[in-house]
């Protein structure tokens, strides 16, 4: 589906769920207003005829970068855990997932 941007309203709660971001009621209201105005502004892109125009995802041509297949020292376990909010010395600890 390729909806016309100017007719859209964002379902903020749905998008916030996708973004894993809890929002309170005041934030949701503020975002609805701000994003409506922003989407109204970006709707000016509809004026352009973009048929046949290739998208640019990167400003320079990217080539696959190869390096020698040589092992380099990784972060030590202590370094990897040094910034962790919670760990048990062998793994990061999070609430039960399954």
Partner 1 sequence: MGPEASATELLAALASGATSALALTEAALARIRAVDGHLGAWLRTDEASALETAARIDRRRELGQPLGPLAGLPVGVKDMICTRGMETTASSRILEGFVPPYDATVVERLRAADAIVLGKLAMDEFAMGSSSERSLRGPVRNPWDLERVPGGSSGGSAVALASGTCPLTLGTDTGGSIRQPAAFCGVAGLKPTYGRVSRQGVIAYASSLDQVGPMARSVRDLALLLQVIAGHDPRDATSLPDPVPDYQAVLDRPVDGLRVGVPAEYFQEGLDPAVELAVRAAEDTLRGEGAVLVPVSLPHTRYAIAAYYLIATAEASSNLARYDGVRYGHRTAEPTGDIDTLYSRTRAEGFGPEVKRRIILGTFALSSGYYDAYYLRAQKVRTLVRRDFAQAFERCDVICGPTSPVGPWRIGERSGDPLAMYLTDIYTVPANLAGLPCLSVPCGVDSSGMPVGLQLIGPPLGEATLLGAAHAFERATGHAARRPPEVHP
Return residues touching partner 1 (CB under 8 A): 1-5, 8, 10, 12, 15-16, 18-23, 27, 30-31, 34-35, 37-38, 41-42, 44-45, 48, 50, 53-60, 62, 64-65, 67, 75, 79-80, 82-86, 92, 94-97
As measured in angstroms, the least distance from the Cβ of 87 to partner 1 is 9
If we measure between CA atoms, which residue out of 7, 14, 10 comes closest to residue 31? 10
Backbone angles phi, psi at 87, to 5 degrees: -155, 165
To the nearest whole angstrom, how small is the minimum distance from the Cβ of residue 9 to partner 1?
A: 11
Contacts of 40 (CB under 8 A, 6+ apart): 6
| CB 87, CB 81: distance < 8 Å | yes
Question: Could you tell me the smallest distance in angstroms from the CB atom of residue 29 to partner 1?
Answer: 13
């Amino acid at each position: 589906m390729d909806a016309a941007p100017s007719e859209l309203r964002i379902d903020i709660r749905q998008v916030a769920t996708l973004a894993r971001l809890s929002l309170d009621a005041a934030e949701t209201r503020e975002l609805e207003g701000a994003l409506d105005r922003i989407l109204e502004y970006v709707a000016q892109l509809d004026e352009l005829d973009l048929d046949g125009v290739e998208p640019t995802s990167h400003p320079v041509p990217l080539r696959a970068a190869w390096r020698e297949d040589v092992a380099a020292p990784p972060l030590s376990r202590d370094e990897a855990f040094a910034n962790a909010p919670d760990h048990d010395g062998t793994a990061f600890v999070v609430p039960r997932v399954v």
